């Protein structure tokens, strides 16, 4: 957020106190990587299936999974940005202020990225002899893609019998496999969908160049569902903004949004399958 602080108040139109208030609103496990690009701190209306479920929601998103990223393209909540190594460069140069080079001419669009356009965030160049970032990107990329997803334990993290039934629901009646393709749990290729397709608001999607949401890979969902490695009050929370508290809430929402007609047994079995991935 140093860039936003540097621009306040004349260029960004905000004060230092405004920025501190925004940072304090995010909550645990969230970060807004785009705030220093567009200054959009709040989603005015959170909408699911045509219903407003909350207003003035902080624009920060839950930290996306850093494991199980091998084999597919887009890796953040929203589409069109780029792969893991794109974000490594952006974060290192523009957010951590490392000495390096970063290019993204899309940031010149003052309508979508007013702060980035004013600060020339998409045009950072350093002499190769002094560049301390670019030479490290390849090794960091290789390391990150090598991190496997955390594996759940049958009988502890999920019910194996229920998960087996849920697998049939996943690839059958619920049609989850049409987007969350086994065994990547996302689509090979350009893995993003519009907000209209998902029947939710497009606030976060429209902050990204692709104006879409990325199909999230599902591996390791049991960690958040069970609240492992976190304070109990922070357990659960799914989707980019954490609008769904539990996996059952997610399944209930998909059932309603896409008229799946799932029974309670099928929903619970599907949850156990998701926890088994």
Nearest to 85 by CA among 120, 50, 13, 134: 134
pLDDT at position 7 is: 46
Output the pLDDT for position 193: 97
Rounded CA separation 136/131 (Å): 10
Q: In the predicted model, is pLDDT for residue 234 greater than 60?
A: yes
Question: d(Cα 92, Cα 5) in Å, to the nearest integer?
Answer: 18
Stretch 53-64: mean pLDDT, rounded? 94
pLDDT digits over 26-53, tens only? 999 999 999 999 989 999 999 999 999 9
The H helix count followed by the E strand count for the chain is 11, 8
Residue 82 in this model has a pLDDT that exceeds 90: no
The pLDDT of residue 239 is 96
Judge whether 88 and 141 are in contact, CB under 8 Å: yes
Least confident window among 77-86, 155-164, 204-213: 77-86
**pLDDT value of position 19:** 78
pTM here? Answer: 0.91
pLDDT number for residue 208: 96
CA 217 to CA 73: how far, in whole Å? 11
Note whether 32 and 56 are within 8 A (CB): no
Which residue has 């624009």 as its token pair? 59
Predicted local confidence at residue 3, as pLDDT: 44
SS3 254: helix
Contact 272, 162 (CB under 8 A): yes
CB 78 within 8 A of CB 208: yes
| Inter-residue contact 167 to 173 (CB < 8 Å) | no
What's the mean pLDDT in 105-125? 95
Q: What is the DSSP string of 121-183?
A: TTEE---TTT-SSGGGHHHHHHHHHT-PPPPP-BTTTB-HHHHHHHHHHHHTTT-GGGTS-TT
pLDDT digits (tens, 9 = 90+) for 4-26: 544 444 445 667 788 788 889 99
Rounded mean pLDDT of 111-126?
95
Burial of residue 220 (number of CB atoms within 10 Å: 0-12, 13-18, 19+): buried
> What pLDDT was estimated at residue 15?
75
Calculate the alpha carbon distances from 86 to 120, 140, 190, 218, 224 in Å: 17, 11, 16, 22, 26
As a whole number, mean pLDDT of residues 135-152 equals 95
Q: What is the per-residue pLDDT for 64?
A: 87
């Amino acid at each position: 957020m140093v860039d936003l602080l540097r621009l306040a108040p004349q260029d960004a139109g905000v004060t230092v106190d405004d920025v501190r208030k925004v940072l304090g609103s995010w909550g645990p496990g969230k970060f807004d990587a785009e705030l220093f690009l567009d200054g959009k701190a709040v989603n005015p209306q959170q909408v699911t299936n045509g219903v407003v479920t909350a207003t003035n929601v902080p624009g920060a998103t839950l930290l996306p999974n850093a494991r199980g990223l091998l084999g597919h393209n887009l890796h953040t909540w929203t589409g069109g940005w780029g792969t893991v190594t794109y974000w490594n460069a952006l974060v290192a140069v523009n957010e951590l202020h490392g000495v390096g080079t970063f290019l993204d001419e899309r940031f010149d669009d003052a309508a979508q990225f007013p702060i980035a356009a004013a600060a020339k965030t998409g045009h950072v160049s350093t002499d190769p002899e002094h560049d301390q970032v670019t030479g490290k990107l390849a090794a960091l990329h290789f390391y990150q893609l090598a991190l496997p997803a955390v594996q759940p334990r049958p009988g502890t993290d999920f019910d194996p019998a229920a998960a087996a039934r849920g697998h049939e629901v996943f690839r059958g009646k619920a049609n989850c496999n049409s987007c969350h393709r086994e065994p990547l749990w996302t689509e090979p290729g350009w893995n993003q969908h519009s907000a209209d397709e998902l029947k939710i608001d497009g606030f976060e999607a429209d902050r990204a160049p692709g104006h879409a949401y990325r199909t999230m890979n599902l591996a390791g969902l049991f960690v958040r569902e069970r609240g492992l490695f976190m304070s109990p009050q922070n357990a659960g929370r799914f989707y980019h903004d954490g609008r769904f508290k539990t996996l059952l809430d997610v399944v209930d929402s998909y059932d309603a949004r896409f008229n799946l007609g799932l029974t309670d047994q099928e929903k619970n079995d599907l949850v156990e399958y998701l926890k088994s991935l």
